[in-house]
Structure 1
Amino acid sequence: MPIRLTALPFLIAVQLTPVADLQNPSVSRGHTLVEAACAACHAVGRFDASPLKSAPPLRDVHKRYPVENLAEALAEGLITGHPGKPEFQFDARDVDDIIDYLKSLEH
């Protein structure tokens, strides 16, 4: 019985966090950037719900279009038509890291 109880936190962490992917420095940096810039409205993990119901989870972005297509928008400034969304502009390394993180959510 104690073995099962000690394994439970590990199993929960594996399900909630893309552990293997976060060991990649680029993916880890992308996760940090997305947490800081996007998590107020969007779900940024594999299973969480978006705080703003109308904001799609970032794990579903690849279902709409290839995440690589976001690179230019992230670099030049990401703006949408709805009020209240802050404008973001990222440097080239940040863009690559965010794209790597979004790709890690695809599997």
Structure 2
Amino acid sequence: MMKTFGRMSAVLGLGLLPLAACGTQEDMAAPELAAPPTEDAASPIPASELVGQGEAMAETLCAGCHAIGLTGESPEPEAMPFRQISWHYPVEALAEPLAEGIMVAHPKMPQWEFEPEQIDALLAYLETVQVPEEG
């Protein structure tokens, strides 16, 4: 079981290479997000607000290389359009790699480690732009 999980993690990690943001080092700071809800909060951050925060992150950190919306080609041909991520991975499976840092060998791509509230926002946005697999 552990070998299978290790292999799955390695495959998922390698497959996420195109997902890694292609921004410059100056773009490394993620946009400020609304404060995460506290345990005493009456309600969590509304879904629409999370989606908006995730979209802002994608525009700032990812759009330089990835097509982040429902249409269009990625500026970098090797960068997977966000709308096709679910063709390869369940979107929710990206939480761990986003938390631990998507690392790539290409010097143009920054290494990211997102905070839990940033991951929630980015995944909420990614869910909204998925399209059915063609063919």
The answer for the alignment partner of 2:95 in structure 1 is 71
Q: Distance in 2 between the 1:80 and 1:60 partners?
A: 20
Q: Structure 2 unaligned runs (5+)?
A: 1-46
Shift of 1:54: 1.2
Give the aligned partner of residue 62 of structure 1.
Answer: 86
Q: TM-score, normalised by structure 1?
A: 0.73
Q: Which residue of 1 aligns with 2:116?
A: 92
Letter in 1 for 2:119: V
Q: Does structure 1 residue 26 correspond to structure 2 residue 47?
A: no
- The structure where helix makes up a greater share of residues is 1
Gaps of 5+ in 1: 1-22
Identity %: 38
Superposition CA RMSD, Å: 1.4
- Shift in Å, 1:82: 3.3
Structure 2 counterpart SS, 1:27:
helix
2:21 counterpart residue number: none
Q: How many residues align?
A: 85
Q: Is the 8 A contact 2:82 2:130 kept in 1?
A: no
> Distance in 2 between the 1:106 and 1:74 partners?
18
SS at 1:24's partner residue? Answer: helix
How far has the Cα of 1:53 moved from its partner?
A: 0.9
TM-score normalised according to structure 2 size: 0.59
Shift of 1:105: 0.8
Q: Does 1:41 align with 2:59?
A: no
Q: Compute the displacement of 1:81 (Å).
A: 3.7
* Code of the aligned partner of 1:103: E
